[in-house]
Amino acid sequence: MSREEQQSAESLLQVRDLVKHYPIREGIFVPREVGRVRAVDGVSFNVHESETLALVGESGCGKSTTGRLILRLIATTSGQIDFMGHDLIQVGKRALRTVRRDLQIVFQDPYASLDPRLRVEDIIAEPLESFGLLPRRKERRERVHELLHEVGLSSYHADRYPHQFSGGQRQRIGIARALAVEPKLIVADEPVSALDVSTQSQIINLMQDLQERHGLSFLFISHDLTVVKHIAHRVAVMYLGKIVEIADKQSLYRTPHHPYTQALLSAVPKPDPSAHRQRIILKDDVPSASRIPTGCRFHTRCPLADAICREQEPPLKEVAGGHHAACHFASPFPIPVHDRPTMPGVETSVPIRQNIR
Ligand SMILES: Nc1ncnc2c1ncn2[C@@H]1O[C@H](COP(=O)(O)OP(=O)(O)OP(=O)(O)O)[C@@H](O)[C@H]1O
Ligand SMILES: [Mg+2]
């Protein structure tokens, strides 16, 4: 069995050639398709057991759409999603309900994602009720208290309403709700982006503790390579609907091969202002997902672009053990990358632990 076949066998989630296109229609009486938004345009990756895979990239590159496709919140255009041996694209409604117990979500905005009219107890107990677990109220209440303690809150918080909590506490409630049904994989879509830096580190540490305790896997979606560095085991970098680089965290941060990853990393501030690193400024804005450039989709902004890049789309190829990059001229980072053990520029009261296996 090859290394990749072996990893596939251990994978909780396998995504292959996933595509989501939104048709653009014009015409009032007889609308016709005049184009397509290629939100996700052929994405493949695995998430292993007890692993955090980070999905990073600029706004609009298709991260949330990928997460929503996996959760079957939206229909796929094409591709395959295998989750614990279930074909998530083909699975019927009833079987999907069973699978959904193992597959939960934590949202970005802890203000919008909790129903303001419900008490915390009802919010956290809702998935238990929905799956018919712990039908007796007393048992449910005990489980809610247990979950509140798991996420660093107290039993008395159960009777309060969401507006009575801080952003970080609300995100803890969101995590407790996701944990209630003991899932295997949590898709966390920008779970700390709405929080201040020191609260971000507390939530990240909590997620890592929960992963260790329960063997959870995370698909951690973020636009921030600094946040991801601390929680991820592997990182996938997306650009305009495609993964352009995917690797172990250490490999990606030390030797990024794709010029897009190199540019993103060069923009991450350093804690030591005297450490010198050349910032790579990309020209132009990200093109629209409805007008993706031919050949390599990054060529319009790439400092290395040549004739071949305008004509041929580079495949994701292995550039080092388990490290894949989609670039005709993939080469290791020319600028030294320094390890950053804390958030940039800010002394946090809670140091963030590195997720290294
Ligand atoms: N329902 C929709 N109809 C048409 N286009 C959509 C729809 N949902 C998303 N898109 C488009 O798909 C692309 C990817 O969107 P997505 O929300 O997945 O990006 P993202 O990487 O999560 O961005 P952000 O970091 O801003 O959250 C964008 O160009 C977006 O405008
Ligand atoms: Mg998003």
Q: What is the pLDDT of residues 114-150, one digit of tens each?
A: 999 999 999 999 999 999 898 899 999 999 999 999 9
pLDDT at position 355, please?
A: 58
CA distance 38 to 240: 8
Backbone angles phi, psi at 249, to 5 degrees: -55, -50
Residue nearest to atom 2 of ligand 1 (CA): 22
Is residue 127 in a domain? no
Query: Residue 239 is part of a domain; what is its CATH number?
Result: 3.40.50.300
Is residue 169 in a domain? no
pLDDT digit string, tens, across residues 210-220: 999 999 999 99
Is residue 322 in a domain? yes
pLDDT at 273 over 70: no
Asked if 260 contacts 246 with a C-beta cutoff of 8 angstroms, the reply is no
Q: Which ligand is nearest to the CA of 242?
A: 1
Residue nearest to atom 17 of ligand 1 (CA): 64
Strands 103-106, 185-189: pairing kind:
parallel
pLDDT at position 194, please?
A: 87
Residue nearest to atom 22 of ligand 1 (CA): 64
pLDDT at position 335, please?
A: 43
Asked if 192 contacts 232 with a C-beta cutoff of 8 angstroms, the reply is no
Q: Judge if the beta carbon of residue 22 lies within 6 A of ligand 1.
A: yes
CA distance 260 to 326: 10
Q: Judge if the beta carbon of residue 18 lies within 6 A of ligand 1.
A: no
Residue type, 12: L
Q: Judge if the beta carbon of residue 63 lies within 6 A of ligand 1.
A: yes
∠ CA 106-109-231, nearest 5°, is 50
- What residue numbers bound the domain in which 34 lies? 1-84+187-194+221-357
CA distance 19 to 226: 28
Q: How confident is the model at residue 259 (pLDDT cuts 50, 70, 90)?
A: very high
CA distance 275 to 254: 16
Q: Judge if the beta carbon of residue 64 lies within 6 A of ligand 1.
A: yes
In DSSP terms, which residues pair with 21 in a beta bridge?
38
pLDDT at position 109, please?
A: 81
pLDDT at position 341, please?
A: 32
Q: What is the mean pLDDT of residues 345-352?
A: 39
| 134 CA from centroid of ligand 2 (Å) | 34
Q: Judge if the beta carbon of residue 61 lies within 6 A of ligand 1.
A: yes
- 3-class SS at 155? helix
Minimum-distance ligand 1 atom for the alpha carbon of 221: 22
What is the tally of structural domains in the chain?
1
pLDDT at position 336, please?
A: 42
Is residue 172 in a domain? no
Q: Which ligand is nearest to the CA of 60?
A: 1
* Inter-CA distances, 143 with 59, 317, 336, Å: 38, 47, 49
| 98 CA from centroid of ligand 2 (Å) | 26
CA distance 204 to 215: 15
141-155, 231-245, 269-283: which range is least confident on average?
269-283
pLDDT at position 6, please?
A: 53
Asked if 326 contacts 245 with a C-beta cutoff of 8 angstroms, the reply is yes
Minimum-distance ligand 1 atom for the alpha carbon of 22: 4
Minimum-distance ligand 1 atom for the alpha carbon of 74: 1
CA distance 276 to 269: 11
What tokens appear for 298 in the block? Answer: 């990054």
Q: Which helix (H) or strand (E) holds 105?
A: strand 103-106
What tokens appear for 46 in the block? Answer: 């695995």
pLDDT at 55 over 60: yes
Asked if 221 contacts 189 with a C-beta cutoff of 8 angstroms, the reply is yes
Return the DSSP state at 299: T
Is residue 21 in a domain? yes
In DSSP terms, which residues pair with 6 in a beta bridge?
none
Q: What is the mean pLDDT of residues 49-72?
A: 95
22-31, 277-286, 293-302: which range is least confident on average?
277-286
Is residue 306 in a domain? yes
Is residue 226 in a domain? yes
pLDDT digit string, tens, across residues 158-184: 999 999 999 999 999 999 999 999 999
Whole-model pTM?
0.89
